[in-house]
Amino acid sequence: MLKHKVVPKLKRPSPPQTRLPPSPPSNHFPSAAEANPRNHILSLLKRCASLRCFKQIHSHMLTLGVHKPNHLLSKLLLLNDLPYSLLLFSRNPRPNDYSFNVMIRALTTIYADYPLALEFYLRMVRSGERPNHYTFPFVLVASANLESLCCGLTAHAPIFKLGLDGNDHVQHSLITMYSRCGEVALARQVFDEIGVRDPVSWNSMLSGYAKMGHAREAVELFRRMRSEGSIVPDEVTLVCVLAACGDLGDSSLGTWLEGLVEEYGLVLDSFLGSALIDMYEPHRYAQNGLSDKAIELFHTMREATVEPDKITIVGVLSACAAVGALELGRSLDAYASGNGLYRNVFVGTALVDMYAKCGNLGRAMEVFDIMPHKNIVSWNAMISALAFNGQGEEAISLFTRMINVNQGFQPNDITFIGVLSACVHSGLVNEGRRWFDVMQSAYGIIPKIEHYSCMVDLLARAGLLEEAWEFIEKMPQKPDAVVLGALLSACRYQKNMEVGERVVKRILELEPSNSGNYVISSKIFANSKRWEDSARIRGLMRERGVTKTPGCSWIEDWVRAQVDDAATEQRREAAVVLTPPLALEGGLVEEHQTPGLLPRMLSLLRNVRPGSDLTHFQACHFFPRYIMLSSVWF
């Protein structure tokens, strides 16, 4: 019997077992993003710093259905994308008061689009949303910047209706709005109605007075603030009052305010330092001593490691131009070049003006040529520089270049003063006549007294005294002392008694207290040997109590001229103090009161060498002053 072979049964392979993830520990908690994705995305939005990041977050919010339009709008406005912000606002079906306030604030403070800010205010009112104390300050500021009193009054009415007239921010904005719109009295009324005034209240009113030219009222208000004693002035306060001091020309008050900076422990930063320098700027004070004070203050700022800003540099350059401080001007030039300030049109123009007035016309032209941006003031400064340095043809050539450049600068009245002055200093009579006519016919500029003065001076210097007098007679306005004075001086030098006598009569009526007019008039008669008339003018001067003003001259470092009282001496003698090398070279040591000073000065001028202590500019700058100071006065 056959035995069957037992075949073992094959086992089916068991299916592969899937590895299960390990169970989370009992102490695991979901992340913030997992637990609350909405809060997480808003947190990312708050930290967003670029427009690209913003757009990614915005897309993610749309995907998650997170609807937070106000959060998006406030962040987007800070990222400086106004078109995207306007689009986002337009997609909001129900903007609330916050939406409107964010737009109005950004349009006023960030984008300076004041008309659009007022348009959003009107849209807010028409939508039924109620403006509040976050709305009106920016609406009033927008009205102030537009100098729109109508818009400001339109906003002031609902302020009373809504009971917001007692809010301090609204009150301060009302003061600013009325001041900037020229209604300083209404601004003061708002100020007087404030119950408890804080520093911002005082500063708002002081700023309003200062900016609108009410300098005396600003100083009086500051004195009242000091007398009440409840408010300590801050940097903003002193900046406002310093501006008023500059307008008043009150240097003593300015010096007192400068002392208050130390008394109150205020930091002399670029903001306050620029205001102090601006107070001492030469366009406010003509005396050399105060321009020198501005320069001294600038050195104090530098010692305090305060970096000058553009406003400070422009102010100090103006002071340098007034007193001839060429070395300091050069150092500021180097600072401007190293810090890329040539791109600033105001700094570049101030450098041009400084170099031109300090006699370095070549460097002035170099700075002008490398300025990447020029405005009409820049062109005017360079044209005037060439004109007053005797390069009339070059000045007119530059003027022609200005009107032909791609930007197409339109000349103004200042431009033509420079052009006509160029004709005066170069004796270009026909050119002067032509440009005077072109100014009216081609550019529609009505001539001012300065233009007439240039033309009279041009004709008088050319010996055309009768034509100059006829020109004065045809002037639409009465001639001033400058016009008559130019013709009077020409009559003296050319010994023209016929025209001179007419001018003498007119100018003594116009300026009866100007001693110079009597001096020149007397000399005109004396030159024609009309001794009785000369004596009559001197007697008239004594009868009217007019005294001669002593002349003076101030020159940087290398020479100092001191003038004795001319009322008791017939001759003014200049005490000249020179640097040792220059004194040895000129032979002027211990001889400044000898009759040989004039020949030695002439010899010194002829022998000026490159590299010597005395430059051509310094020599030419000093010599006319020596002649003036040494001339015989009757």
pLDDT digits (tens, 9 = 90+) for 363-394: 999 999 988 888 888 899 999 999 888 888 89
More confident residue, 5 or 431: 431
Pairwise CA distance, residues 290 & 296, whole Å? 9
Q: Please say if the pLDDT value at position 627 is more than 50.
A: no
Phi, psi values for residue 632, rounded to 5°: -80, 130
pLDDT of residue 630: 35
- Domain assignment present for residue 461? The answer is yes
> How far from the centroid of its chain's Cα atoms is residue 190's Cα?
30
Q: What is the pLDDT of residues 333-354, one digit of tens each?
A: 888 888 877 778 888 888 998 9
Query: Is 0.85 surpassed by the pTM of this model?
Result: no
Q: What is the pLDDT of residue 158?
A: 93
- 317 has pLDDT over 70: yes
Note whether 585 and 530 are same-domain residues. no
Rounded to the nearest 10 degrees, what angle do helices 215-228 and 199-211 cross at? 160
> pLDDT class for 138, splitting at 50, 70, 90?
very high
**Within a domain: 565:** yes
Stretch 265-280: mean pLDDT, rounded? 58
Structural domain containing residue 615: 550-630
Same domain for 561 and 544?
no
Question: Which of 530, 549, 568 marks a domain boundary?
Answer: 549
* Lowest pLDDT segment from 246-255, 411-420, 434-443: 246-255
Condensed to tens digits (0 to 9), the pLDDT of residues 454-463 reads 888 888 888 8
Regarding whether 467 and 454 lie in a shared domain, the answer is: yes
Is residue 48 predicted with pLDDT exceeding 60?
A: yes
- What pLDDT is recorded for position 2? 45
Average pLDDT of every residue of the chain: 74
454 with 518, same domain: the answer is yes
More confident residue, 484 or 368: 368
312-321, 385-394, 555-564: range with lowest mean pLDDT: 555-564
Instruction: Check whether 171 has a pLDDT greater than 90.
Output: yes
Question: What percent of the chain has a predicted confidence (pLDDT) above 70?
Answer: 70
Query: Could you please report the per-residue DSSP string of 130-197?
Result: PP-TTTHHHHHHHHHHHT-HHHHHHHHHHHHHTT-TT-HHHHHHHHHHHHHTT-HHHHHHHHHT-SS-
Note whether 524 and 611 are same-domain residues. Answer: no
Q: Return the minimum-mean-pLDDT range out of 15-24, 94-103, 608-617.
A: 608-617
Residue carrying structure tokens 């200093």: 425
Q: Taking 50 as the threshold, does the pLDDT of residue 617 lie above it?
A: no
Comparing 473 with 90, the larger pLDDT belongs to: 90
Asked, for residue 506, whether it belongs to a domain, the answer is yes
Kindly write down the DSSP assignment for every residue of 503-547, as one continuous string.
HHHHHHHH-TT-HHHHHHHHHHHHHTT-HHHHHHHHHHHHHTT--
> What residues form DSSP beta bridges with 571?
632
254 confidence band (pLDDT: 50, 70, 90): low
Among the candidates 492, 523, 549, a domain finishes at 549
For residue 500, is it within any domain? yes
Mean pLDDT across 62-73: 84
DSSP string, 249-282: T-HHHHHHHHHHHHHTT----HHHHHHHHHHT-T
- Rank 211-220, 337-346, 416-425, 513-522 by mean pLDDT and report only the highest: 416-425
Domain for residue 68, yes or no? no
The pLDDT of residue 575 is 32
Q: Where would I find the beta strands (DSSP E) of 358-418?
A: none
User: Does 537 lie in the same domain as 466?
Assistant: yes
Residue 84 maps to a domain: no
Q: What tokens appear for 407 in the block?
A: 């930007």
Contact yes or no for 169/133 (Cβ under 8 A): yes
Residue 189 lies in a domain: no
- CATH number for the domain spanning 468: value is 1.25.40.10
Query: Are 585 and 536 members of one domain?
Result: no
Is 488 in the same domain as 580?
Answer: no
Q: What is the DSSP code string of 419-456?
A: HHHHHHHHT-HHHHHHHHHHHHHTT-PPP-HHHHHHHH
Q: Between residues 545 and 628, which one has the greater pLDDT?
A: 545
Beta bridge partners of 632: 571
If asked whether residues 587 and 525 sit together in one domain, one would say no
CB 100 within 8 A of CB 123: yes
Rounded-to-integer distance, Cα 274 and Cα 511, Å: 37
pLDDT band at 277 (very low <50, low <70, confident <90, very high): low
Residue at 224 is within a domain: no
Q: Which of 549, 576, 600 is the last residue of a domain?
A: 549
In the chain, the number of structural domains is 2
Count of all residues that appear for the chain in the document? 634
pLDDT confidence tier of residue 357, bands split at 50, 70 and 90: confident
In this structure, the answer to whether residues 452 and 492 fall within a common structural domain is yes
The pLDDT score that the predictor gives to residue 365 is 92
User: Same domain, yes or no, for 520 and 475?
Assistant: yes
Judge whether 550 and 563 are in contact, CB under 8 Å.
Answer: yes
- Same domain? For 461 and 528 the reply is yes
